[in-house]
Amino acid sequence: MEFQFSDGRVFALDDQQEVIAEATYVPVRNGIVDICHTYVSPALRGQGIAGQLVQAVADELRKKGLKAVASCSYADAWLMRNQKMYSDIIA
């Protein structure tokens, strides 16, 4: 699945240009963002796409030198499962 990036958002579209997967994040204070939402279309759930989305967000934050907290329960669990690899971006 090919992800697109825009300010505070990583997402994928289907052939009709409808959002089928999305993760969003917002700034909360200097250099820290909150990963606040993940969504995967019901037809695509259970395929690891949400994890790919959060990983794409984490990689993007790393490139930008930002850190993250997560109010989204899925993103929070993902960060905790992957804290060794992403300790540099976890606030």
pLDDT of residue 36: 99
Question: What is the per-residue pLDDT across 21-79, written as a single tens digit (0 to 9) for each?
Answer: 999 999 999 999 999 999 999 999 999 999 999 999 999 999 999 999 999 999 999 99
Note the CATH architecture for domain 4-86: 3-Layer(aba) Sandwich (3.40)
Which secondary-structure segment (H or E) carries 62?
helix 49-64
Strands laid side by side in the 67-70 sheet: 4-6, 9-13, 19-29, 32-40, 67-70
Predicted TM-score (pTM) of the model is 0.93
pLDDT of residue 42: 98
Cβ neighbours around 66 below 10 Å, total: 18
Annotated domain spans of the chain: 4-86
At 78, the amino acid letter reads W
pLDDT band at 15 (very low <50, low <70, confident <90, very high): very high
Looking at the DSSP bridge assignments, the partners of residue 4 are 11
Q: What are the backbone angles phi and psi of residue 56, rounded to the nearest 5°?
A: -65, -40
